[in-house]
Structure 1
Amino acid sequence: MNILVTGSTGTIGSLVVRGLAAQGASVRALTRDPAKASFPEGVIAVKGDMTDVPSMRAALQDVDTLFLLNAVVADEVTQAIGTLSLAREAGIQRVVYLSVLNSDAYTDVPHFTGKYTVERMIEQFDLPVTVLRPSYFMQNDAALKDGLLQGRYGMPIGNVGVAMVDVRDIAEIAVAALLRRARSATPLPREVIEITGPDVLTGDALATIWSGVLGKPVTPAGNDLDAWETAMAGFMPSWSAYDLRLMLARFHVDGMLGKSNAVELLTGLLGHPPRRYRDLAGELAKAWEAA
Structure 2
Amino acid sequence: MTIVVTGATGNVGGKVLRRLLAAGHPVRALTRDPSRAELPAGVEVVRADLDLPDTLPDALEGARRVFLMALGHNKRTHDANLVAVARKTGVEHIVQLSTLGVEEVDEEHDTPLGTWHRQAENALRESGLGWTILRPNGFMTQALGWAPAIRGEGVVRSPVADLPEALIDPEDIAEVAVRALTEPGHTGRAYALTGPAALTAREQVAALGEALGRPLRFEQISVEAHRAILAERYGEATAAGVAKALATVLESGDDFRGRLFPDLERVLGRPGRSFRDWASAHAAHFA
Answer whether contact 1:158 1:223 (CA < 8 A) is retained.
Answer: no
Answer whether contact 1:152 1:221 (CA < 8 A) is retained.
Answer: yes
Look up the match of 1:123: 125
Please state how far the C-alpha of 1:5 moved relative to its aligned partner.
Answer: 0.6
Please state how far the C-alpha of 1:119 moved relative to its aligned partner.
Answer: 1.5
Separation (CA, whole Å) in 2 of partners of 1:237 and 1:14: 22
Residues 218-274 of structure 1 show CA distances to partners (whole Å, capped at 9, x for unaligned) of 233225213322444455532232222123224423244365552xx4234224321
Answer whether contact 1:119 1:131 (CA < 8 A) is retained.
Answer: yes
| Correspondent of 1:222 among 207, 220, 223 | 220
User: 2:101 is paired with a residue of what secondary structure?
Assistant: coil
Residues 63-99 of structure 1 show CA distances to partners (whole Å, capped at 9, x for unaligned) of 1111111122x42221111111111122322110000
Look up the match of 1:80: 79
User: 1:205 is paired with a residue of what secondary structure?
Assistant: helix
User: 2:104 is paired with a residue of what secondary structure?
Assistant: coil
Please state how far the C-alpha of 1:210 moved relative to its aligned partner.
Answer: 2.5
Please state how far the C-alpha of 1:31 moved relative to its aligned partner.
Answer: 1.2
User: 1:157 is paired with a residue of what secondary structure?
Assistant: coil
Look up the match of 2:138: 136
Look up the match of 1:157: 160
User: 2:138 is paired with a residue of what secondary structure?
Assistant: coil
2:38 is equivalent to residue 35 of structure 1: no
Look up the match of 1:146: 148
Match for 2:3: what amino acid? I
Answer whether contact 2:31 2:45 (CA < 8 A) is retained.
Answer: yes
Separation (CA, whole Å) in 1 of partners of 2:258 and 2:165: 9
Match for 1:121: what amino acid? A
Match for 2:208: what amino acid? W
Look up the match of 1:199: 197
Look up the match of 1:240: 238
Residue segments in structure 1 that go unaligned for 5+ positions in a row: none
Identify which range, 243-252 or 49-58, moves more after superposition: 243-252
Residue segments in structure 2 that go unaligned for 5+ positions in a row: none
Separation (CA, whole Å) in 2 of partners of 1:176 and 1:31: 23
What's the C-alpha RMSD, in Å, of the aligned pairs? 2.3
Separation (CA, whole Å) in 2 of partners of 1:234 and 1:129: 34
User: 1:75 is paired with a residue of what secondary structure?
Assistant: helix
Separation (CA, whole Å) in 1 of partners of 2:116 and 2:231: 21
Look up the match of 1:17: 17
Residues 148-188 of structure 1 show CA distances to partners (whole Å, capped at 9, x for unaligned) of 2323222322423111000100011111110115xx8xxx6
Separation (CA, whole Å) in 1 of partners of 2:208 and 2:53: 46
TM-score by length of 1: 0.87
With over 3 angstroms needed to count, the CA separation of the structure-2 counterparts of 1:78 and 1:44, relative to structure 1, is same
- Percent identical among aligned pairs is 31
Q: How many pairs align? A: 281
Answer whether contact 1:148 1:154 (CA < 8 A) is retained.
Answer: no
Identify which range, 191-200 or 248-257, moves more after superposition: 248-257
Separation (CA, whole Å) in 2 of partners of 1:46 and 1:16: 17
Look up the match of 1:102: 101
Answer whether contact 2:164 2:258 (CA < 8 A) is retained.
Answer: no
Q: Structure 2 matches for 1:157-176, cutoff 5 A? A: 157-176=160-179
Identify which range, 279-288 or 190-199, moves more after superposition: 279-288
Answer whether contact 1:233 1:241 (CA < 8 A) is retained.
Answer: yes
With over 3 angstroms needed to count, the CA separation of the structure-2 counterparts of 1:33 and 1:166, relative to structure 1, is same
Separation (CA, whole Å) in 2 of partners of 1:59 and 1:235: 28
With over 3 angstroms needed to count, the CA separation of the structure-2 counterparts of 1:116 and 1:25, relative to structure 1, is same
With over 3 angstroms needed to count, the CA separation of the structure-2 counterparts of 1:118 and 1:164, relative to structure 1, is same
Separation (CA, whole Å) in 2 of partners of 1:223 and 1:255: 20
Match for 1:114: what amino acid? W
Separation (CA, whole Å) in 2 of partners of 1:226 and 1:258: 23
Answer whether contact 1:29 1:45 (CA < 8 A) is retained.
Answer: yes
User: 1:221 is paired with a residue of what secondary structure?
Assistant: strand
Answer whether contact 1:135 1:256 (CA < 8 A) is retained.
Answer: no
Separation (CA, whole Å) in 2 of partners of 1:214 and 1:251: 31
